[in-house]
Amino acid sequence: MITKWIGCFLFQITVNRDIAGIKRIWYTGKDMETATCLERTGRIQLIILGIDPGYAIVGWGCVRYERARFTPLDFGAVTTPAGMDFSERLERIYDELALLLAQKRPDAMAVEKLYFKNNQKTAIDVAQARGMVLLAARKAGVPLYEYTPLQVKSAVTGYGKAEKPQVMEMTRRLLGLREVPKPDDTADALAIAICHGQTGGTALKRRIVGGEIGK
């Protein structure tokens, strides 16, 4: 275990080597909500799972971030029928997310923060579904990051007040897709994953590239 002061933050760094000689570096810091894992193999690569929470549809998108480029690995949505008992809908969301995390094995999960102005009933239901997402990440030991809609828009388009079609189109371009993924929840999840790649842990990644960490 190596402990270093970087700026005004204390980071604990654990360095391990596997049989292939790949150095895996785990970081925890007071300025981060969770830990993140980066690989140093001459390049930096992150597998990010983006989640757009909901109780009818949970959009998800898995991308690889490497050399400042994004590659879509897989994406889709978890759906629950309207006639299903709400507790069963929550159970399905948890089970599907747990399976997804086990299959994709992401280095980080990025989730959109909730923001509702009017409909409190919808907000409560979405919050409960979102809780299943957070629980699945916690149980799987996957670092969790949360971003506001403003942060997602800024990271993807460079403009925090961008309209939804603009965000979707930029997401399509950044991922090199022929069409915007459907449903919209899936496209939103991919945008959230891109947001994490653009902003989450950026300072740490710069320090790794610069050789300040992991020597």
Diameter over CA atoms, the chain:
57
For residue 153, the Cα-to-chain-centroid distance in whole angstroms is: 15
Instruction: Give the Cα separation of 80 and 91 in Å (integer).
Output: 10
Catalytic residues: 52, 112, 185
Cα angle 88, 94, 96 (rounded to 5 degrees) comes to 100
The CA-to-CA distance between both ends of the chain, in Å, stands at: 13
| Cβ contact 37:18 at 8 Å | no
